[in-house]
Amino acid sequence: MKDKHLLLILLWAGAILIFAYSWMPGGMDVDSCHYAVVSKGILESGKWLGFFDPIIRETFFYHFPLVLWVTALFFKLLGVSVFSATLFSMLCGFILTAVIFYFGRLLKNQWVGFFGGLSFLLTNHIVRITRKCRMDIPVSLFITLAMFSFILAQKRRRLYYLWFGLFSCLAIFTKDISGTAPLVIAVLYLLFCKKWRELINPLFLSGILLALLPAAVWIWLDHMALFKLWLNCNFLHLWQTVSIKIRWYYYIEVLFTKYVYFLPLALYGGYLAIKHARKDKQPEFLILIIWAVFFPFVFSFGRQKLHYFILPIYPAASLLVGLACDKLFRERLKERIAESFKYLFAFAAIVMLSFPLPVGGRRFSEIVRLAPAMDELLKQVVEYEFIVYRQDQASILWYSRQLRRISLIEDIPALEKELSQGQTKPRFCYIAEEDYALINPEIRNTCRVLLKYKNRLVIINQKGPALIVNIV
């Protein structure tokens, strides 16, 4: 089967799995809503440096800004929506599938690339995270492109070291510390293979400089004002925090739960990679081993551990799965598998086009449903305070088109005090029904429920004006 045919099957599968129903409301998680809100603020303020974070109410310092910049640009071009918020991540996931294919073909043949790309798309949480406004898939793409360029520099021309540096730079500007992984993996590989001269190759050093210099300039432009906050959030916090200490073998558990059906193939592929490196004198295969081990090993030393911290290992693990499948399956069976998936995803596309389903994400379904009606209420009031009681701020600010600032309250006495102060401005409050029942009956009698969906309420203190909402 021709390379182009296999690539088209992969891209078709990626398009179906990644983009299907991506325009439907909902589906954004906490971090996605947070980044989308900040990106929306960049668009509205026109401030692309030192931009404001309405959640923490200060300048955004969590990560370097590439994803936020691109998302704000998509908002400008396509309008503010769930689709435009997640488009960059979805495009990165789609492109990453093709990069894995070419990576596998570079290492061995087209079947390694095909089965690698297919296993990547079918990995438990890859598509789900791809459909978020997050940094995990973009940084995985840039890390993969950086390692792809590094291998090209080993096998073809050293000029590819400059591309290696460029993609490493983009990885760093996407997710900070995680983005430095290509530099560390490349140095470890050269040390392990005893390629001492490559370590001082002018083009290799230029690539490293190209990767690190923009980050250094960014810190300088910031005049160190936010650097300590960023360092604490992205590095010191992960290694020193005691209150969130998690068992050291957490990432082993993650691989056995989220990757269990591909893990045996990946382990066998690891054995084949070592065999190719030793017997066939192809040391480039060792990069996959170093890459796959690097993230779980390094992040296991951190006290805070989350499954998506190691998400950049999956392109490497998928290529190891591709090696195993190429070894285990005969040529005829490989072609039948490819043909089967071609017809499967063609059938899926026909069903989706013929029977469009109102599919929406379940995450924050209450605010997704209430937000349009809530906005109609807020349009009728000139001045007001909006309170959120023990609910996620980011999702409310994202799904509401009227709210720009909210107050978070965590205890009932503080909420009661706030609701009793309605002389100057009406107070709206988004609250769970069970929490509303805990409010002092006297204060509760001065409030009225304006909106309700499931167990979520939007209430207002009685001194607020009469409001009308027409729900179609």
pLDDT tens per residue, range 16-44: 889 887 777 777 888 899 999 999 988 88
Task: Please count the CA atoms within 13 angstroms of the CA of 273 that sit on its side-chain side.
Answer: 26
What band does 190 get if pLDDT is binned at 50, 70 and 90?
very high
| pTM of the predicted model as reported, rounded to 2 decimal places | 0.91
Q: Residues 341, 371: one domain?
A: no
Average of per-residue pLDDT values in the chain:
86
Cβ neighbours, 10 Å, residue 38 = 27
What's the pLDDT score for residue 89? 94
- Decide which of 316, 334, 354 is a domain's last residue: 354
Beta bridge partners of 427: 385
Number of domains forming the structure of the chain: 2
135 in any annotated domain: yes
What's the pLDDT score for residue 76? 93
Q: Residues 126, 162: one domain?
A: yes
471 in any annotated domain: no
Segment 309-338 mean pLDDT = 93
Q: Is pLDDT of 241 > 70?
A: no
30 in any annotated domain: yes
Q: Is pLDDT of 62 > 80?
A: no
Q: 217-234 burial by CB neighbour count: b if 16+ within 10 A, else e?
A: ebbeeeeeebeeebeeeb
- Decide which of 354, 383, 412 is a domain's last residue: 354
Q: Residues 309, 434: one domain?
A: no
- Comparing 383 with 334, the larger pLDDT belongs to 334
Q: Residues 317, 435: one domain?
A: no
Q: Residues 105, 33: one domain?
A: yes
Angle, helix 160-175 to helix 202-221, in steps of 10 degrees = 30
- Comparing 114 with 3, the larger pLDDT belongs to 114
Give the closest residue to 26 by CA, choosing from 107, 93, 82. Answer: 82
Q: Residues 391, 328: one domain?
A: no
Cβ neighbours, 10 Å, residue 73 = 16
Beta bridge partners of 408: 388
Helix/strand/coil percent split, the chain, to 5: 65, 5, 30
Segment 393-402 mean pLDDT = 90
What's the pLDDT score for residue 472? 45
End-to-end CA distance of the chain: 53
As a whole number of angstroms, the distance between CA 123 and CA 312 comes to 13
Question: And the tokens for 337?
Answer: 């598998």
Q: Residues 337, 401: one domain?
A: no
433 in any annotated domain: yes
Q: Residues 158, 24: one domain?
A: yes
139 in any annotated domain: yes
Q: Is pLDDT of 242 > 70?
A: no
What band does 150 get if pLDDT is binned at 50, 70 and 90?
very high
Give yes or no for a contact between 192 and 23, defined as CB atoms under 8 angstroms apart: no
- Comparing 2 with 171, the larger pLDDT belongs to 171
Q: Is pLDDT of 263 > 70?
A: yes
Segment 90-99 mean pLDDT = 96
Q: Residues 266, 319: one domain?
A: yes
470 in any annotated domain: no
Q: Residues 99, 173: one domain?
A: yes
What's the pLDDT score for residue 210? 94
Q: Is pLDDT of 355 > 80?
A: no
- Comparing 224 with 437, the larger pLDDT belongs to 437
Q: Is pLDDT of 422 > 90?
A: no
Whole-Å CA distances, 29 to 23, 286, 314, 363: 15, 36, 21, 7
Q: Which residue segment(s) compose the domain that 185 sits in?
A: 3-354
360 in any annotated domain: no
- Decide which of 303, 335, 354 is a domain's last residue: 354
φ and ψ at residue 386, rounded to 5 degrees: -115, 125
Question: Helices in 193-330 by DSSP H: which ranges?
Answer: 196-199, 202-221, 227-231, 237-240, 250-258, 263-279, 286-299, 314-328
What band does 298 get if pLDDT is binned at 50, 70 and 90?
confident
CA 26 to chain CA centroid, nearest Å: 16
Q: Residues 268, 395: one domain?
A: no
Q: Residues 329, 453: one domain?
A: no
466 in any annotated domain: no
As a whole number of angstroms, the distance between CA 315 and CA 365 comes to 32
What band does 138 get if pLDDT is binned at 50, 70 and 90?
very high
